[in-house]
Amino acid sequence: MSALLASGAHFGHSQKRMNPNFVPYAYGVRAGITIIDLDHTLPLLRRAAQVVRGVAARGGSVVFVGTRTDLRSAVRLAAERMGKQGYHVGERWLPGTLTNKVHMFGPEVARDTQVIPDLVVFLNPIPNIHAIRECALEHVPTIGIVDSNVDPRIVMYPIPANDESTRTAELVAGLLSVAGREGVAIYQEEQARAAIAASKRSRSREPLA
Amino acid sequence: MTPSLESGRSFPLATQSRPGRLSARTCALVRQRARSPSSSVSLSRALVSGAVRGTMNIAKQVAGGALRFRAYATAAYVPPASLEGMQRARPPPSKPKPESPSFYTGRANYFDQLLALEKAAKQTRTALQELQILPLPRFAQQNLPPSPGYRRFIGQLNQLNEYRRLAEVAGHMELAGRIQRVLDMFERENKDAILAQGKRKPVKFDEFGRSYTIGRRKESTARVWVIKAKEAASSSTAAAGQGEAQPSQDAPAVGIPGFTRGPLSMAPTPIKVPTTNILVNNIPLVEYFPHLSDRERIVRPFRIAGLLGAYNVFALVRGGGSTGQSGALALGIAKALAAHVPEVEPLLRKAKMLKRDPRMVERKKTGRAKSRKAYTWVKR
């Protein structure tokens, strides 16, 4: 796992426009570029995967956001892996999607469906800072690939890594979506078990009635 | 090493970086006690009390979700045994989730269809590649059958059309007819519908001979049904002829007294004035438009066409005020008359009765009191 991460074009980003809050995740500087410490990245990535699995296992909806042309397919595939609980945003995130949902989707949809997702994953948080703010306002937990020029506290579960590399983003999205797929499987198993138990209960009640 | 996670539904505090074993509150308490000038004994006591408080927190966590977030020090201690039979607060019924995976883009239908198309194109590309059709080698590209060649076809048809026109103009109708039959083989069935798409549609009459037209003026719309008035009780009079004097019920028609010779001594021939009705919103015209100017405006198309008693009118008018409604009605009536009696159309057109008055109320502008009126000019 660690070897895979190290082999991906994953380490090091941005000249010395480093955010001071990023220092704990930085290994050092070389040739004017901040190198990210992968020994910190790996456990945080595992933690993020646990979060996605946990949210999916409780029937939560996960949105993958990647608004660059090269991230579009990665985000769509990740959402496809999670089946009914996965969503994707490959183009610009429209401001007001969560905070202005009545205007955006119509009063019937806003009233009858659960519009606010249970988790949002950002593959490029810098252009989507307004989306992150909306998630914070609506109390939605966020996961994001934070780079060295970004304050890692903007998302709830940061993954310090290179956000400009397509392979890194695909790797992270793939990992999280696979964990999400496991969570979806757990949820469906539970639902099936509950359905069987409910049908048994109803059958056991029938002769009494 | 990896810290354990609580349930994924906790409220997000983006500043929470490393959740540890002890709750943050316990840590704060310990730190507070440690800062006071005390010996290690009191510190251990603080740790113990902190640990006790930790267990108290766990008991409250067991109790239910509501208490978890309101674990104040002043809350009463409830022994776990008495929490056994307590009813837990049921979670609110969950709403169904959105169906489309591109719901959060805001344009789910568009992106779903676009992605489906992209997927179809991708699959087609792989299939063609498997069949070795893509990429096409040079010799195959050169030997592809040519595209249909519609340009030549249409060129020839245009040429034939030109010859047909020449033949018509020259007067050789038979030749023109034969060329037309050749052209008809290539024409569409709905050719007339397509040609008439941009043009004004002719007014249609229903099975009772009523025309339906619409007239508009300012903010008013008038829907007008016009039907030819029947010559009802005039059949006997028509048969009798015009010269015969019909004695009216009130007084016999006589010449003017004092004249024994000449035209004024003769009794006038009674003229049967045909009466027709004009109903506006099911109300007679006189009641609906009390002002003479409005009524005159409505009757003007009849006067110009010379068809004053010839047609009955039923109209539904909506919007605007009396002037707008009467103008809309007049336009609707003029259009209907032009449809009933096509000879009258040039007369109405010359009198500008068939033109929809384009004048509308001008909008108010910012910086002005009304559309044109300016505020009082102030020198300073």
* Six token digits for residue B78: 């409830």
* Mutation target vs B (from A113, A132, A151, A187; most B CBs, 10 A cutoff): A113
Phi, psi of B8 (to 5 degrees): -70, -5
- Considering only alpha carbons, which residue of chain B is nearest residue A137? B12
Element housing B285 (H / E): helix B285-288
Q: What is the pLDDT of residue B69?
A: 57
Amino acid at B25: R
Interaxial angle between packed helices A38-57 and A166-205, expressed in degrees from 0 to 180 and rounded to the nearest 10: 30
Q: What is the pLDDT of residue B196?
A: 86
Q: Is B237 on the interface with A (CB under 8 A)?
A: no
A168-203, pLDDT tens digit by residue?
899 999 999 999 999 999 999 999 999 999 899 888
- CB contacts of A104 in chain B (<8 Å) are 106
Q: Is A1 on the interface with B (CB under 8 A)?
A: no
Closest CA to B3 of B23, B18, B25: B18
Closest CA to B266 of B244, B287, B283: B244
CA A138 vs CA A109, A132, B4, B12: distances in Å: 17, 10, 25, 10
The CA distance from B352 to B254, in Å, is 44
pLDDT under 70: residue ranges of chain A: 1-10, 15, 207-209
- How far off is chain A from B128, nearest CA to CA, in Å? 22
- B3, B7, B103: residue with CB nearest A87: B103
Q: What is the dihedral of CA A105, A111, A117, A123, to 10 degrees?
A: 10
CB contact under 8 A, A89 and B105: yes
Question: Cis (ω within 30 of 0) for the bond into B96?
Answer: no
- How far off is chain B from A100, nearest CA to CA, in Å? 11
- Considering only alpha carbons, which residue of chain B is nearest residue A135? B12
Element housing B177 (H / E): helix B173-184
CB A115 within 8 A of CB A98: yes
- How far off is chain A from B132, nearest CA to CA, in Å? 26
Q: What is the pLDDT of residue B100?
A: 94
> Greatest CA span in chain A, whole angstroms?
80
- CB contacts of A60 in chain B (<8 Å) are 8-9
- CB contacts of B104 in chain A (<8 Å) are 63, 87-89, 93, 97, 117
Q: Is A128 on the interface with B (CB under 8 A)?
A: no
* Cα B129-B133-B135 angle, rounded to 5 deg: 75
CB contact under 8 A, A136 and B115: no
Q: Is B16 on the interface with A (CB under 8 A)?
A: yes
DSSP 8-state code for residue B92: P
Closest CA to A76 of B96, B119, B109: B119
Q: In tens digits, what is the pLDDT along chain B, a chain of 380 residues?
A: 444 444 444 444 444 444 444 444 544 444 544 444 444 444 445 444 444 444 445 444 455 555 555 556 677 888 888 887 777 777 777 889 999 999 999 999 999 999 999 999 999 999 999 998 888 888 888 888 878 888 988 999 999 999 999 999 999 999 999 999 999 999 999 988 898 888 888 899 999 999 999 999 999 999 999 999 887 554 444 444 433 444 445 566 777 888 888 888 888 888 887 788 899 999 999 999 999 999 999 999 999 999 998 999 999 999 999 999 999 999 999 999 999 999 999 999 999 999 999 999 999 999 999 999 999 999 98
Scanning B89-118 for CB atoms below 8 A from A yields 94-98, 101-106, 111, 115
- How far off is chain B from A6, nearest CA to CA, in Å? 20
Closest CA to B263 of B255, B271, B275: B255
- B1, B12, B102: residue with CB nearest A139: B12
- A88, A97, A119: residue with CB nearest B106: A97
- How far off is chain A from B121, nearest CA to CA, in Å? 14
Q: DSSP 3-state assignment of A190?
A: helix
The CA distance from A175 to A74, in Å, is 11
CB contacts < 8 A, A to B, total 92
- Considering only alpha carbons, which residue of chain A is nearest residue B105? A89
Q: What is the pLDDT of residue B205?
A: 93
Kindly provide the ipTM of the predicted complex, given to two decimals.
0.90
CB A36 within 8 A of CB A13: yes
Q: Is B69 on the interface with A (CB under 8 A)?
A: no
Q: In chain A, where are the structural domains located?
A: 2-183
Closest CA to B215 of B336, B310, B362, B321: B336
Closest CA to A59 of A97, A88, A86, A99: A86
CB contact under 8 A, A87 and B9: no
CB contact under 8 A, B96 and A59: no
- Domain A2-183: give its CATH code: 3.40.50.10490
Sheet with B311-318, side-by-side order of all strands: B211-217, B220-228, B311-318, B278-280, B283-284
DSSP 8-state code for residue B368: B
- CB contacts of A55 in chain B (<8 Å) are 8-9
CB A42 within 8 A of CB A2: yes
CA B29 vs CA B19, B22, B77: distances in Å: 16, 11, 19
List, as one string, the DSSP characters of A10-41.
-S-B-SS---GGGGGGEEEEETTEEEE-HHHH
- Considering only alpha carbons, which residue of chain B is nearest residue A159? B17
Q: What is the pLDDT of residue B28?
A: 47
